[in-house]
Each structure stands twice: as C-alpha cells, then as structure tokens.
C-alpha cells in the first residue's frame, strides 16, 4: 500500500474546516467557495479554483502552510 495513504494526519482531510487551526478569513473564504473540508479542497482543480471570485492568494498560502505543517503538501503537488 502507498505510504501516503497511511499518513497519520490524513484524518485532517475529513474534519470540517471550522475545526482546523486556521484563520476566520480562511474559514469564511472556504465556505464562500463551497468547501467544507480539506479533502474537498485538495481533490479540486486548484488552478481552476484560482479563477473563482472568492479565491485569494492569502487563502491559498494559508492552505499551503497548513498542508506543509501537517506533512500533506504532496496532496496538491501533483
């Protein structure tokens, strides 16, 4: 089995974004874009998302930092 599928922080993908250690701005912007979990975000086409009205670079950078801190950055580095 792929070692990435057993990563100890994968549970974060299923938690509601509001329960994650993120800013209120990240929570609000995620909700405006229709995301309720990190799993939904990482499974989306982030290039397409970057063109959405409620997208911001600050939101993206916070996402990247959250994923990096938890060893999950590989999920968007495909």
Closest CA to 41 of 12, 70, 71: 12
* More confident call, 56 vs 5: 56
Give me the mean pLDDT over the 39-60 stretch.
97
Q: Could you give the 3-state DSSP secondary structure of residue 16?
A: strand
pLDDT of amino acid 2: 45
Q: Which whole-number Å values give the CA distances from 22 to 8, 18, 38, 57, in the listed order?
A: 19, 8, 11, 15
Write out the two tokens for 27. Answer: 């929570």
User: What is the value of pTM for the model shown?
Assistant: 0.87
Q: pLDDT (tens digit, 9 = 90+) per residue, 1-32?
A: 344 556 788 999 999 999 999 999 999 999 99
Give me the mean pLDDT over the 42-50 stretch.
96
* Domain total in the chain: 1
% of the chain at pLDDT higher than 90: 86
């Amino acid at each position: 089995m792929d070692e990435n599928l057993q990563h100890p922080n994968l549970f974060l993908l299923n938690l509601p974004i509001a329960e994650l250690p993120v800013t209120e701005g990240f929570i609000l912007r995620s909700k405006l874009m229709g995301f309720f979990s990190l799993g939904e975000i990482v499974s989306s086409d982030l290039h397409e998302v970057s063109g959405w009205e409620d997208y911001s670079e600050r939101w993206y950078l916070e996402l990247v930092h959250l994923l990096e801190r938890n060893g999950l950055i590989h999920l968007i580095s495909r």
